[in-house]
Amino acid sequence: MDRRCIAIFDSGLGGLTVVRAIQQRLPADDLVYFGDTARVPYGSKSKETVTRFAREICDFLLRFDPKLIVFACNTASAAALPSLRPHISVPTVGVVMPGARAAVERAGNGTIAVIATESTINSDAYRTAMRSLNPQVRVIQKPCPLFVPLAEEGRSADDPIVRAVVQDYLQPLVALGPQAMVLGCTHYPILREAIAAACGPTVELIDSAEQTAQQVYADLAATNGLRTEDRRGKLTCYVSDNPQRFRELGQRFLQQSIVDVTWVAPERFHADEARPVS
């Protein structure tokens, strides 16, 4: 058993969907979350910039002595994880491969649709991961940049604006008859109901958050790292801006109230006072 925490980060609050899935799978573990709310969105930034941000955040998270770091952000997983992984001193889990694997299992030699941010689609990370698992699979992709602000605004699935945007983005993909669709962005599970309505019953939606939690569980089980005591793990959050907004909006992503949020600006990552008190 390994009692060290699991560290998780995202460009903002969307990664709380991954936190929620990990809490359900690994309830006894303490989680430390970093949301880069000062520099969100990552989805429209270059690979170089996202990699620099991810490297800084991993350095910060390593101060908590985690047993594992989860790249909950699809954009950071796609753009930065492959190049950073060899330089990080603890195991890492990204959201791309778990989601890709689940989609390939569902779709067989059929068609998989991937919806994600522009950076994730441009990186081609999902297609590359899927083709490494099954070279026959057909992958169709589409960036859906308006989904992130819609999810953050808390609009419901039956909101006419949500319906119109979802329909406009997804109709051309659905017309190509995919068997599965990967929700390749932390925010998209929030719009799941509207996306499911636009896709119809024949398209299976793959939520990277759930798949990633399963991957974290499997990796820890394989190294005797699971925490098996009968306890409820603690969630400690750090954000690079506006902890109050994170607390308020984050509740919707986490589906529970968020108590422990501390502001730490990226330029203070290396300052002693940014060090957690445990």
Q: Distance (Å, rounded) from C-alpha 104 to C-alpha 182? A: 10
CB atoms within 10 A of CB 140: 16
Provide the CA 80 distance to its chain's centre, in angstroms: 13
Nearer to ligand DGL, 149 or 177 (CB): 149
Residues binding ligand DGL: what is the number (CB under 6 A)? 17
Task: Decide: is 186 part of the binding site for ligand DGL (CB under 6 A).
Answer: yes
Task: Decide: is 185 part of the binding site for ligand DGL (CB under 6 A).
Answer: yes
Q: What residues does 35 pair with on adjacent strands?
A: 10, 239
Q: Distance (Å, rounded) from C-alpha 55 to C-alpha 89? A: 12
Task: Decide: is 73 part of the binding site for ligand DGL (CB under 6 A).
Answer: yes
User: H-helix or E-strand containing 35?
Assistant: strand 31-35
Residues 137-176 that bind ligand DGL (CB under 6 A): 148
Task: Decide: is 183 part of the binding site for ligand DGL (CB under 6 A).
Answer: no
CB-closest chain residue to ligand DGL: 43
Nearer to ligand DGL, 173 or 226 (CB): 173
Q: How far is the CB of 117 from ligand DGL (least distance, A)?
A: 4
Given candidates 9, 33, 42, 246, which one binds ligand DGL under the rule CB under 6 A? 42
**Residue type for 210, please?**
E
Q: Distance (Å, rounded) from C-alpha 107 to C-alpha 121? A: 19
Residues 75-134 that bind ligand DGL (CB under 6 A): 75, 117, 120
The backbone torsions φ and ψ at residue 144, rounded to the nearest 5 degrees and listed phi first, read -130, 65
In 107-168, beta strands by DSSP E = 111-116, 138-143
Nearer to ligand DGL, 127 or 227 (CB): 127
Tokens 């809490």 locate to 23
Q: How far is the CB of 201 from ligand DGL (least distance, A)?
A: 26
Q: Output the six-digit token pair for 51.
A: 């990699």
Given candidates 40, 104, 249, 264, which one binds ligand DGL under the rule CB under 6 A? 40
| Chain contacts with ligand DGL (rule: CB under 6 A) | 10-12, 14, 40-43, 73-75, 117, 120, 148, 185-187
